[in-house]
Amino acid sequence: MKVLIPAALRTYTGAAQVEAGGATLDALFADLDRRHPGLRFRVVDEQGLLRPNMRLFVNGLGVRELAHPLAPDDFVAVVLALSGG
């Protein structure tokens, strides 16, 4: 499936869009980490939870659960939420 990568994480992938696979978002990030080491840690914390500043969209729908199921033709967008004050 196609995965859109935010500019801040493109140093890991070298591209704005990459291909990866997995039956769930968690499996997708495991595959992404095999292909692009270090990427998963920037999105998923040590407890296996999505980091607060990250947003995931599957086919345009916002998702927070890494157990969310995926289909091979899904489009996943990883978005870095703005923060600050």
* Domains parsed from the chain with CATH numbers: 2-80 (3.10.20.30)
Type of residue at 22:
G
The neighbour count for residue 20, using CB atoms within 10 Å, is 21
Instruction: Give tens-digit pLDDT for 35-84.
Output: 999 999 999 999 999 999 999 999 999 999 999 999 999 999 999 987 65
Whole-prediction pTM: 0.91
